[in-house]
Amino acid sequence: MNQTAIEKHSIKPAKESLADYGSIDQDKGCHPTRVVKKNISEKLESTEYEQEVKALRWALNRLASWDLPGKAHVENYFRHMHRRNFRPKTYFSNLTAIQVFLAVVKDSGKTRLEEITKNDLEAFIEHEQDRGLMLSTVRTRLHCANAFLGYLIEGGIVSADVLARRIRLKKPETLPRAMDPDDVKQLFFVIEHPRDRAMITLLLRTGMRIGELLGTKMHDLHLKDRRIDIYEGEKNRIGRVVYLSDDAKVALKAWLKMREFDQEFLFYARGRKNMSYSTAHLIFERYLTKAGLTHKGYSLHALRHTFASELLNAGMRIECLQPLMGHTSLDVTRRYARLTDKTREEEYFKAMTIIERGEIDGHYRLDHQVQAFLEEKERFTEYR
């Protein structure tokens, strides 16, 4: 199932406006800069609404061909999503998850949504796991199914017992994969094109997600103030500001000197007004191959992990790093502290030096209070 492409609107190019907005607009009695910002804001809101309308129409057209129970309720749910201002791409993930879930319900012999039980939700999870999908994908689809069921419960269609105790798929708490400093140097040594150097440097020095950077337009860039405004975060829809380091500013200036002046987006590909993720991925992979780093398994997102790890290693407080990363929860940011805790590393080697020298006195003993606590914790874990 392919998601329909949603066109983005064009904002008036900078070359048409810079010369005209240097003085007060006497007729309207307001500062022209404020007028421009207001117009841009109004156009963006209008375009976002048009995108959401297109996404809703696409979902309803797909829904029309279904032969599954509760189709009318699904249509109402998507109209509910539209009223709540859901992102256009959210329609695709929800439609896919709900379609599979209702197909599982139909295969069990049920024809009405009122007959859904918790067993149907468990069967849906097993169905997706048996297909060999990644855990993150199964978790996302379960989240979509839960949201749909929550809507049905509020409407009195499905029993609240279905979600009385939520089924949670535990995700391994893996460490963020940052690039080794020597590998970073090796990578930049082979980057030739100013556009590519600027793009990869910005990812490394700002911590932006690749989707956020590719969606950056020229009016989002404030080179003099050394910042980029991200009006809407890619994952959580929360805006933030990121800053430009000295080397990022140098790389960016080199790219700005040669880029086409009338292009709306900061980065674009030949023959396109912007650059797609697949193009950026291919560029990065090409440089990894050239640098002999393909076996390391680095991705574009590793540059974001490297940004966070290096700032913590340099002494930045985790509370300051959180807004730069665009994290809503400090717990998410703390993952990088597990990766870069220099104090813990120093304490380990200090203690290990004593052990290797054989300077430990006394016998090993078991603290009974600690043992009792661990046993109680284990029983509690098994109960959960």
Q: What are the CA-CA distances from residue 258 to residues 13, 219, 266 (Å)?
A: 17, 18, 12
Per the residue annotation, which of 205, 240, 304, 305 is the catalytic one?
Answer: 304
The β-bridge relationship of strands 227-230 and 240-243 is antiparallel
Provide the residue type at 296 as one letter: K
Per the residue annotation, which of 209, 217, 240, 305 is the catalytic one?
Answer: 209
Answer yes or no: 73 catalytic: no
Answer yes or no: 363 catalytic: no
Per the residue annotation, which of 112, 235, 281, 342 is the catalytic one?
Answer: 235
What is the helix (H) or strand (E) element at residue 218, kind and residue range? none
Nearest by Cα to 209 from 277, 262, 257, 117: 277
Q: What are the CA-CA distances from residue 157 to residues 59, 80, 112, 151, 160 (Å)?
A: 22, 15, 10, 9, 9
Q: Are 231 and 41 in contact (CB under 8 A)?
A: no
In the chain the beta strands, taken as DSSP E runs, fall at 221-222, 227-230, 240-243
Answer yes or no: 336 catalytic: yes
Q: Is 55 helix (H, G, I), strand (E, B) or coil?
A: helix
Per the residue annotation, which of 77, 91, 287, 336 is the catalytic one?
Answer: 336
Q: Are 214 and 277 in contact (CB under 8 A)?
A: yes
Per the residue annotation, which of 237, 301, 334, 342 is the catalytic one?
Answer: 301
Question: Rounded to the nearest 5°, which phi and psi values hold at 265?
Answer: -90, 150
Answer yes or no: 21 catalytic: no
Which residues, at least 6 apart from 35, have a Cβ–Cβ distance to it below 8 Å?
21, 25, 28
Answer yes or no: 197 catalytic: no
Per the residue annotation, which of 82, 217, 240, 327 is the catalytic one?
Answer: 327
Answer yes or no: 301 catalytic: yes
Which residues, at least 6 apart from 285, have a Cβ–Cβ distance to it below 8 Å?
294
Provide the residue type at 187 as one letter: L
For residue 222, the cross-strand partners are: 227
Q: Which two tokens stand for residue 354?
A: 């004593």
Q: Which residues are catalytic?
A: 209, 235, 301, 304, 327, 336
